[in-house]
């Protein structure tokens, strides 16, 4: 068990290579959160954000690079103490604090993804399809029993009915047997 806590030779070599790379960019071993910002500017911004946004914007005849290169934004970022942006319990704390000051009654909700408003489709089409065609599968049977017993919220219901429905429709259309 203790061997798992000793870095392998491969890991040691990667650490040395990464350390050399960081040193060549002009950083020392005492790397802090504020240095992370410069690492992003010197590396990630150039090799990832600008490159990908430039390619996709040129493909669609748009000009979106200037926002990343505006000296006012860069100066603001460089003059902000990066330690204020990190919080163990909350993401984007700097932006949320600004919003809290401006919008006193704003309700900050947890991120939960996007869902479509399926309306009556979930019960009238999706669940009926699953009940009529796939109840012999243990997971589907258990899922439908759970929904009918616990009366789950609409968000959960529509997402999971859609997942099962789209999977089983695909299997049906492509004549795949399980």
Poorest-pLDDT segment among 2-6, 53-57, 143-147:
2-6
- Looking at every residue in the chain, the average pLDDT score rounds to 77
Which has the minimum average pLDDT: 38-42, 66-70, 91-95, 162-166?
Answer: 66-70
Question: Tens digits of per-residue pLDDT, 104-124?
Answer: 777 777 766 666 667 788 888
Give me the residue spans of the domains in the chain.
Answer: 2-89, 121-173
Alpha-carbon Rg for the chain in angstroms = 25
pTM given for the model: 0.39
pLDDT in tens, 47-80: 787 888 888 888 888 877 666 677 888 888 788 7
């Amino acid at each position: 068990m203790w061997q798992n806590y000793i870095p392998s030779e491969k890991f040691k070599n990667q650490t040395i290579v990464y350390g050399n790379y960081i040193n060549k960019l002009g950083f020392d071993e005492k790397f802090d959160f504020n240095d992370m910002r410069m690492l992003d500017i010197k590396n990630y911004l150039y090799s990832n954000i600008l490159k990908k946004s430039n390619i996709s914007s040129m493909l669609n005849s748009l000009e979106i690079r200037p926002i990343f290169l505006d000296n006012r934004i860069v100066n603001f970022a460089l003059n902000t103490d990066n330690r204020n942006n990190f919080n163990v319990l909350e993401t984007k704390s700097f932006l949320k604090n600004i919003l809290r000051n401006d919008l006193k009654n704003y309700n900050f909700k947890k991120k939960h993804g996007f869902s479509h408003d399926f309306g009556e489709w979930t019960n009238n089409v999706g669940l009926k399809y699953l009940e009529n065609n796939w109840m012999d599968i243990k997971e589907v049977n258990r899922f439908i029993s759970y929904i009918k017993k616990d009366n789950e919220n609409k968000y959960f219901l529509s997402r999971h009915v859609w997942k099962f429905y789209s999977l089983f429709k695909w299997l049906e259309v492509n004549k795949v047997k399980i």
